[in-house]
């Protein structure tokens, strides 16, 4: 077999057959090329979407829920409909005790909108009173300085961590902000950190001050606005969300079936939807890509069948001169594999080039759509291997037809 492959006569015959039908050969190669090209580009685009998703959610504790309260929708235990429910710091302590086996983190939060001033520059931004544990649930990528710590909470220090866009708006370009003072709601705060924008959070452009400082400055007492709660990875987050909401309803004497008094967002559920979409995209990509590959390979098979028909007399002469059926079969299969290989390699090269251009167009900047759209080398090799197997398999059909040609009948063929 190897001797046959490296025989120059074999390749001269293959080249002669291809040269005789240039247009047909080019169309056939394009059909297979398009299949693997489409597969590479679609897989790369799907990977780019997945990378972007991971970059957005990667620093967030995904097994988390957000919980807040509204007005009641159902009368209960003498209370009228429309009563306003207010979360308290004691609710946090009770939840910690009630769900100590399931809980990983719980973050009570207070928020308001305030004017932030630095010299002659100012802007209205969200100000959030938080605990240091927020950085474990909703990781902040710090550009300068640090996040809040326990000493800030204990001493009710007037320090602030600001978002990158706030920094750009109220500071001079390239000005070092750490230990500089800014004014929030007529109170001076020392900047201790600046964090990068772009990460998923519930706050937008926000300035973070210690929770205890927020309580004191804004006279909030023991009231909180909402909570971020992260459960252990083994916990059923959907059931956990229901249990937490029911506990809060019981604490505030709310009807268990009241659908409006306690609201929230199940982040794990939302992420699950996106993950399911990405999985579906990958399945569709493989399905479309392989289906296109198969269509292209069948085109090669059809071309070779026509070629065998056209070369009936030539095959008859070769048989008369002593060529064995195996040699005839090997040549047809080798031609099929050769065309498939050339088309596959060109498809991979063009696919890689298009992914490079996509990365330049959509994978850079502050808000990329497709982040690093690439395909792993093992995936490329698997796709290429599938292509070669299909090319070899489809070549068996015309090869079998060629070996069925009898020398006498072939020599009579005009």
Query: Residue 218, SS3?
Result: coil
Given CA atoms 158, 224, 93, 134 in this order, what sign does their dihedral have?
A: negative
What is the DSSP pairing of strand 121-130 with strand 206-210?
A: parallel
What is the rounded distance in angstroms from the CA atom of residue 103 to the CA atom of residue 230? 6
CA 322 remoteness from chain centre: 60
Q: Which two tokens stand for residue 301?
A: 């098979």
On the question of pLDDT at 184 being above 90, the answer is: yes
pLDDT in tens, 103-113: 999 999 999 99
The helix-helix angle for 22-57 and 267-310 (nearest 10°) equals: 170
Q: Which residues contact 103 (CB under 8 A, 6 or more apart)?
A: 95, 96, 229, 230, 231, 232
- pTM for this prediction: 0.66
pLDDT in tens, 100-148: 899 999 999 999 999 999 999 999 999 999 999 998 888 888 999 999 9
What is the rounded distance in angstroms from the CA atom of residue 309 to the CA atom of residue 85? 84
Residue 2: band (very low, low, confident or very high) from pLDDT cuts 50, 70, 90: very low
The predicted model gives 170-189 an average pLDDT of: 94
Cβ burial 197-218 (10 Å sphere, 16+ → b, else e) = bebebebebbbbbbbbbbbebb
CB-based contact 292:35 (threshold 8 Å): yes
What is the rounded distance in angstroms from the CA atom of residue 84 to the CA atom of residue 262? 10
Q: Which two tokens stand for residue 81?
A: 């409909």
Q: Which two tokens stand for residue 302?
A: 């059809």
Give the residue among 249, 231, 248 at the shortest CA–CA distance from 240: 231
Residue 1: band (very low, low, confident or very high) from pLDDT cuts 50, 70, 90: very low
On the question of pLDDT at 333 being above 50, the answer is: yes
CA 275 remoteness from chain centre: 8
Max Cα–Cα distance, the chain, nearest Å? 106
Higher pLDDT, 270 or 72: 72
| Range from 75-84, 302-311, 323-332, 383-392 that averages highest in pLDDT | 75-84
> What does 291-314 look like in DSSP terms, one character per residue?
HHHHHHHHHHHHHHHHHHHHTHHH
Pick the range with the lowest mean pLDDT from 274-288, 310-324, 352-366: 310-324
The predicted model gives 353-368 an average pLDDT of: 79
Q: What angle do CA 335, 337, 340 make, to 5 degrees?
A: 110
Residue 199 main-chain phi, psi, to 5 deg: -75, 150
CB-based contact 130:211 (threshold 8 Å): yes
What is the rounded distance in angstroms from the CA atom of residue 266 to the CA atom of residue 22? 60
Residue 188: band (very low, low, confident or very high) from pLDDT cuts 50, 70, 90: very high
On the question of pLDDT at 410 being above 60, the answer is: no
Percentage of the chain lying above the pLDDT 70 cut: 77
Pick the range with the lowest mean pLDDT from 61-70, 101-110, 308-317, 389-398: 308-317
pLDDT in tens, 197-238: 765 556 778 999 999 999 999 999 899 999 999 998 888 888
Give the residue among 73, 84, 80 at the shortest CA–CA distance from 258: 73
Residue 322: band (very low, low, confident or very high) from pLDDT cuts 50, 70, 90: low
CA atoms within 13 A on the CB side of 97: 5
Give the residue among 390, 394, 393 at the shortest CA–CA distance from 305: 394
> What does 343-389 look like in DSSP terms, one character per residue?
HHHHHHHHHHHHHHHHHHHHSSSSS-SS-S----HHHHHHHHHHHHH
Q: Which residues contact 402 (CB under 8 A, 6 or more apart)?
A: 308, 315, 328, 329, 332
Given CA atoms 158, 160, 166, 171 in this order, what sign does their dihedral have?
A: positive
CA 392 remoteness from chain centre: 35
On the question of pLDDT at 251 being above 90, the answer is: yes
Q: Which residues contact 359 (CB under 8 A, 6 or more apart)?
A: 48, 370, 372, 373, 374
């Amino acid at each position: 077999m190897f001797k046959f492959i490296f025989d120059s006569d074999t390749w001269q015959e293959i080249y002669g057959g291809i040269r005789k039908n240039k247009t047909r050969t080019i169309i056939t190669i394009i059909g297979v090329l398009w299949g693997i090209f489409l597969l590479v580009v679609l897989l790369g685009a799907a990977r780019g979407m997945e990378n972007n998703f991971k970059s957005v959610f990667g620093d967030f504790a995904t097994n988390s829920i957000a919980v807040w309260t509204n007005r009641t929708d159902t009368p209960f235990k003498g209370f009228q409909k429309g009563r306003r429910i207010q979360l308290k710091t004691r609710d946090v302590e009770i939840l910690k005790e009630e769900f100590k086996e399931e809980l990983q983190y719980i973050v009570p939060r207070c928020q308001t909108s305030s004017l932030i001033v630095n010299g002659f520059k100012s802007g209205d931004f969200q100000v959030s009173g938080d605990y240091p544990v927020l950085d474990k649930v909703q990781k902040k990528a710090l550009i300068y300085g640090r996040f809040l710590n326990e000493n800030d909470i204990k001493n009710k220090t007037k320090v602030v961590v600001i978002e990158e866009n706030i920094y750009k708006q109220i500071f001079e370009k390239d000005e070092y902000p750490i230990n500089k003072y800014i004014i929030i709601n007529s109170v001076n705060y020392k900047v201790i950190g600046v964090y990068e924008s772009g990460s998923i959070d519930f706050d937008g452009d926000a300035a973070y001050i210690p929770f205890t400082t927020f309580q004191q400055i804004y006279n909030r007492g023991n009231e909180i606005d909402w909570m971020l709660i992260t459960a252990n990875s083994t916990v059923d987050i959907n059931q956990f969300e229901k249990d937490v909401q029911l506990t809060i309803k019981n604490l505030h004497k709310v009807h268990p079936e009241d659908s409006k008094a306690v609201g929230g967002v199940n982040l794990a559920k939302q992420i699950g939807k996106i993950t399911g979409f990405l999985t579906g995209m990958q399945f569709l990509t493989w399905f479309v890509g392989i289906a296109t590959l198969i269509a292209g390979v069948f085109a090669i098979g059809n071309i070779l069948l026509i070629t065998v028909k056209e070369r009936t007399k030539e095959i008859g002469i070769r048989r008369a001169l002593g060529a064995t059926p195996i040699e005839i079969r090997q040549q047809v299969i080798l031609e099929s594999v050769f065309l498939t290989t050339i088309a596959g390699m060109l498809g991979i090269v063009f696919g890689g080039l298009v992914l490079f251009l996509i990365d330049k167009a959509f994978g850079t900047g502050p808000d990329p759509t497709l982040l690093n759209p690439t395909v792993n080398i093992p995936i490329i090799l698997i796709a290429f291997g599938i292509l070669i197997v299909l090319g070899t398999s489809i070549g068996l059909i015309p090869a079998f037809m060629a070996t069925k040609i009898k020398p006498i009948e072939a020599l009579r063929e005009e």
